[in-house]
Structure 1
Amino acid sequence: MKIFKIHLLPIIILILLSIPVVAQNNNIEVPLSNPGEPGKLIVSAMFSDDIEIRSHNKENVIVNYDGEDIRDDDKDAMKNGMRRISSGGLGLEVTEDNNEVRISTGPMPNQDFEMVVYVPRNFSLKLNTMQGDVKVSGLAGELEISAVNGDIELVDITGTVLVNSVNGDMEIDFTQINPNSPMSFTGVNGDIEVSFPANAKFTAKMKTEWGDVYTNFDMDIDRNSSRSESGDNDGTFKVAVNRWIIGEVNGGGPEFLFKTLHGDISIRKK
């Protein structure tokens, strides 16, 4: 297993002169164990301004990161009569093992951090982030993305997508879809907008509590609420009604789940 480990520890010496912002902008080139074969990128980022994953025509992975070690407007921060001389460091670790590339970043809530990762088009992706926007373009593998605070944008996608956002909008554009794979697009606070090729075949299962559902596909829609009943040994009886909208597109196909709590759902025909 190849390990590429970077630790940037900013140390500020207090002098009478003003202290400039220290910035980092670097590339890490990661050779693959099996160039040309499918691979997987796994990203775990706690805090960031932006994370972008792009496809390229090379047979390696390139990590470009830009981190700001100390914010200039925080350089005179005080606590209990003491002046801060260090704000902690940016920890970035990249590992590769048998075409699986892992990227992890440490906690850095008071720092600016942006990262662009270039991978071959036949890569899959698993990405988890706590803070910051996510953009992915040009991938053809399986995409599993989870974000807490930040928007999600996927462009020129030809693979399978499972995406979840707590606070943020999602905008997803498919060039083509896998005709046999179910997909899921779920959120809590934010709009969901997904675009599919006009000939896509799928069955949409849609639900929003405080919002509306829009589409320009010709859907064969079943508006009947699903109903479930249950009972137990003490005689308690429960009925639950779930207001799902089910719609078949081009005769139906694998189930695509669209669900949000606060926000609109838009399913577009390209």
Structure 2
Amino acid sequence: MGMQSLKNNQTKFKNHKMNFKNIKIALASILFLATISFTAQETVTVPLSNPTKPGLLKMGIINGSIKIIGTSGKEVVIKGTKRKESESRYKQHRKSKSNTDGLKRISNNSLEFSAEEYDNTVRVRGSVHGTTDFEIQVPKNFSLKISTINRGEIYVENVNGTMDVSNTNGKITLKDISGSVSADALNRNIVVNFIKVTPNVAMAFSSLNGDIDITFPKNLKADIKVKSDRGEIFTDFDLKTKPSSAKITKGDNRKGNAYNVKVEKWITGSINGGGPEILFKNFNGDVIIRAK
């Protein structure tokens, strides 16, 4: 009887262990389902009209990040992920709305964006509601005209083309790129690393409250025009500076034919004998021009 009772207890213990294990698996499944329900995500593939030729990506969003990677592929792959709205942001949004105390909030985690292609130009449009982050794969030889305003950074890697990049409240990082760039980031840093620069093409970089940190190939040929009102300027290029001249205009309508003389703190010079103009303009941040 003692042996039989022991066996019965062992069997009950094993059953309890199995039930406990099943409960843990069920809980893990519930947690996983709860996690994926918080984030809306979608991936679409856009074929090009002529995959053997370079293309152009155009997109401008209000809220969110843009990450672009150049690949050996022949298509544009776009993944959009909608961020869940934080509770504090939701409460702030509701301050000016009607009273909803005691009612249940139904969250809208739906994701909306569109993409269209015509003659190797791909246009991506995001929703004005919420915050959507984009990760995009493009063929390596691709030009970009991209911008975002709030709650996100712009990151580009391994792309060769003409790039027009703008971010109002976030950082811009362009890594291991080739081609030419026009970039402005109002309140954050601009960091660019060129592998190769398109010859005989002008470029421009501007910021108000961030640093501008650009690395060029050491054989760069360019005329440099640089200014930072409250920051410093650094370079390891052998920059042959030129004296700056005052800007004179004539014929202000309010003052007759008066001369208007303005002296600005621009530094101008040439690198490796000179070439197309590269402009750097900053207000509160530093300008760093590196040779690699």
Q: TM-score range by the shorter chain?
A: 0.7 to 0.9
2:118 matched to 1:97?
Answer: yes
For 1:171, the equivalent position in structure 2 comes to: 191
1:56, 1:202 → 2: CA distance?
29
Gaps spanning 5+ residues in structure 2: where?
1-33
CA-based RMSD: 2.2
User: Identity across aligned pairs (percent)?
Assistant: 34
* Closer/same/farther in 2, CA of residues 38 and 236 from structure 1, 3 Å limit: same
- Kept in 1, the 8 Å contact 2:83–2:133? The answer is no
How do 1:83-232 and structure 2 match up within 5 A? 83=103, 84-86=105-107, 89-109=110-130, 111=131, 113-131=132-150, 132-232=152-252
2:89, 2:147 → 1: CA distance?
28
- Kept in 2, the 8 Å contact 1:146–1:164? The answer is yes
**Deviation digits for residues 33-63 of structure 1, max 9, x if unmatched?**
1112111000111101x21011010100000
2:88 matched to 1:66?
Answer: no
2:271 to 243, 249, 253: 249
2:91, 2:193 → 1: CA distance?
45
TM-score normalised according to structure 2 size: 0.79
- Alpha-carbon deviation of 1:225? 4.2
How do 1:42-53 and structure 2 match up within 5 A? 42-48=58-64, 50-53=65-68
TM-score normalised according to structure 1 size: 0.85
2:70 to 42, 46, 55: 55
The amino acid across from 2:42 in the alignment is: N
More helix by share: 2
The amino acid across from 2:163 in the alignment is: L
- Alpha-carbon deviation of 1:258? 0.4
Aligned length: 249
* Closer/same/farther in 2, CA of residues 75 and 199 from structure 1, 3 Å limit: closer
Gaps spanning 5+ residues in structure 1: where?
1-18
- Kept in 2, the 8 Å contact 1:89–1:108? The answer is no
For 1:38, the equivalent position in structure 2 comes to: 54
More strand by share: 1
* Closer/same/farther in 2, CA of residues 135 and 71 from structure 1, 3 Å limit: same
* Closer/same/farther in 2, CA of residues 229 and 105 from structure 1, 3 Å limit: same
Larger Rg: 2
- Kept in 1, the 8 Å contact 2:188–2:211? The answer is yes
- Kept in 1, the 8 Å contact 2:228–2:282? The answer is yes
- Alpha-carbon deviation of 1:187? 1.4
